[in-house]
């Protein structure tokens, strides 16, 4: 038996197949990612089973709906390689659970309707998450579909953290801070609890990637979070702006920009891409900066500054800092960024071991110096495995 974990986005689909054993989730059986699924795109996919790795283009029979081709290829892949491994469930990452869901749930029509009502709060993610669920429901009619939520890990946040300074009636209507990247933070918090006793004290985790955020935990529970009502808030990201004075939106409206234009600006044309004018990819920007492109250098510096600033703010919220963790694509693989963030936090007692930092990319390991008052770690995240574990636990109840 196995559980298939999927994460369907606007232009990509990530998947991982895990053995479902009597005691819980077992070995990773196979995984992969399908990219360029935007309409008119040229879908590419890569997958891995054990040491076998394959990368290839996908024949696209539906250029206006390449997600349909992606699902067809994924079905063929499962049938070819895992015909004798029946699916226990398909579990889906869903970005926004709103006030409706604080844990994994079996999907039904009522669940889908509630989640669809949240589409405008996460327009880059939620509609594609739900479309993916619908496709898998049709393709695997007798297999339970489970939804896991990025907001669930933050469900216990204090009203001091979730409430905007707006009329109480608006707060009662659901306009509040929810927090996101919860599947990642829950996984990393569990890994860190096993790796270091101090992780149960005051910890700040930096999830730095195309989507970026920060989360502070005390006793392993979310206590403060950079993201808010939507996944647009907080840190600067690949193409999202992060924190923005609401007056800027009012200014754009007064200039005549409509909802669609403003949404495109904030979600798809800002962040590293907007500031640099070149790319949303940190690796490409570092190469451009090394070649003398000043806007690329400034974009990297601004991203670093905002990450440092958020660590300071979250540290104030939880009354100190015992452990600092870097995770996600940039956090796990960019040693220079880790150095630059930590260098600006020396006043907190943060001291990096340069050699350990350079060697840590993609591995769970400490990177602090012997005299650092704060432990510093790199911890790879695995949202897919966390989702699979939640699905397995749900199916046991």
- Annotated binding-site members for Mg(2+): 7, 383
Residue positions forming the annotated binding site for substrate: 93
Residue positions forming the annotated binding site for ATP: 14, 207-211, 329-333
Closest to 214 (Cα-Cα) out of 356, 369, 321: 321
* Continuous H helices in 22-166: 66-81, 109-116, 126-139, 159-162
DSSP 281-328: -HHHHHHHHHTT-HHHHHHHHHHHHHHHHHHHHHHHHHTS-SEEEEEH
Output b/e per residue, 91-112; b: 16+ Cβ within 10 A: bbbbbbbbebbbebbebeeebb
The single residue of 35, 69, 150, 322 carrying the catalytic annotation is 150
d(CA 294, CA 117) in angstroms, rounded, equals: 43
The residue behind tokens 């999202």 is: 240
Residue positions forming the annotated binding site: 7, 14, 93, 207-211, 329-333, 383
> Cα 106 from chain centroid?
22
| Residue 115 token pair | 């989640």
Closest to 223 (Cα-Cα) out of 161, 316, 164, 151: 161
Closest to 177 (Cα-Cα) out of 231, 237, 118: 231
Closest to 97 (Cα-Cα) out of 138, 130, 124: 130
**150 given a catalytic annotation:** yes
Active site residues: 150
């Amino acid at each position: 038996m196995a559980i298939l974990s999927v994460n369907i986005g606007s232009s990509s689909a990530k998947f991982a197949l895990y053995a479902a054993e009597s005691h819980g989730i077992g070995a990773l059986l196979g995984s992969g990612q399908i990219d360029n699924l935007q309409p008119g795109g040229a879908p590419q996919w890569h997958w891995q089973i054990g040491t076998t790795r394959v990368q290839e283009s996908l024949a696209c029979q539906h250029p206006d709906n390449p997600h349909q081709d992606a699902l067809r290829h994924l079905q063929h892949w499962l049938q070819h390689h895992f015909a004798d491994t029946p699916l226990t469930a398909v579990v889906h990452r869903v970005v926004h659970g709103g006030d409706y869901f604080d844990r994994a749930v079996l999907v039904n029509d009522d669940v889908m309707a509630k989640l669809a009502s949240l589409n405008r709060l996460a327009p880059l993610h939620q509609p594609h998450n739900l479309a993916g669920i619908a496709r898998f429901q049709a393709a695997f009619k007798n297999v339970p579909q489970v939804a896991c939520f990025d907001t669930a890990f933050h469900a216990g946040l204090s009203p001091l953290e979730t409430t905007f300074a707006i009329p109480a009636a608006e707060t009662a209507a659901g306009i509040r801070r929810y927090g996101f990247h919860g599947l990642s933070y829950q996984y990393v918090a569990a890994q860190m609890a096993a790796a270091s006793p101090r992780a149960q004290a005051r910890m700040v985790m930096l999830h730095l990637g195309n989507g970026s955020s920060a989360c502070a935990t005390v006793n392993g529970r979310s206590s403060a979070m950079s993201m808010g009502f939507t996944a647009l808030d907080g840190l600067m990201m690949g193409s999202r702006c992060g924190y923005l004075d609401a007056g800027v939106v009012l200014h754009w409206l007064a200039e005549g920009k409509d909802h669609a234009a403003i949404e495109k600006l904030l979600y798809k044309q800002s962040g590293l891409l907007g500031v640099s004018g070149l790319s949303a990819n940190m690796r490409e920007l570092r190469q451009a900066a090394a070649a003398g492109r000043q806007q690329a250098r400034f974009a990297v510096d601004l991203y670093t500054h905002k990450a440092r600033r958020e660590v300071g703010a979250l540290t104030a919220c939880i009354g100190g800092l015992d452990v600092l963790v870097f995770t996600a694509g940039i956090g796990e693989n960019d040693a220079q960024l880790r150095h630059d963030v930590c260098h600006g936090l020396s006043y907190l007692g943060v001291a990096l071991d340069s050699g350990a930092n350079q060697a840590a990319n993609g591995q769970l390991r400490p990177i602090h110096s012997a005299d650092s008052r704060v432990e510093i770690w790199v911890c790879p995240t695995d949202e897919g495995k966390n989702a699979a574990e939640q699905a397995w636990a749900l199916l046991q109840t």
